[in-house]
Structure 1
């Protein structure tokens, strides 16, 4: 994984595990958030992230840190 994706991975870990409210994100009862909402709110808070990059981060770990819903529209930290 390149440096940019590593930084995004660390950011996603922080947001999804510790501080979703810091960008105004709300997780559902199962800990999932909308990927589109995550990207929109992250970008509004000054980060530059795309949906494609989120999917690359999820796929890029040998030991999964994140899971996508079956339709790929929601993400959660494992």
Structure 2
């Protein structure tokens, strides 16, 4: 993953895990965020993120930290063990 996608991954992780309210977004009952809404709210808060970049982060993350819903419209963080 290139440096830009790594920064986006870290930002998404922080927002989705700890501060979704800081950009005015909430996960659904299954822990998913709507990708387009997440991107829209992130951009409104000063980040420059595209849907394509979010999808690239999901695809390229070596630890498979993120997953998409079956329809590809929602994203969530997977449970990742800290054991290596």
TM-score band, normalised by shorter chain: over 0.9
Q: Give every structure 1 segment of 4 or more consecutive aligned residues whose post-TM-superposition deviation is greater than 2 Å.
A: none
Alignment of structure 1 residues 16-31 onto 2, 5 Å: 16-31=16-31
**How far has the Cα of 1:63 moved from its partner?**
1.7
TM-score by length of 2: 0.90
Q: Equivalent residue of 1:31, what SS? A: coil
Size of the aligned set, in residue pairs, is: 78
- Equivalent position of 2:35 in the other structure: 35
Q: Which has the larger radius of gyration?
A: 2
TM-score by length of 1: 0.97
**How far has the Cα of 1:62 moved from its partner?**
2.3
Alpha-carbon RMSD across the aligned residues, in angstroms, is: 0.6
Structure 1 unaligned blocks of 5 or more: none
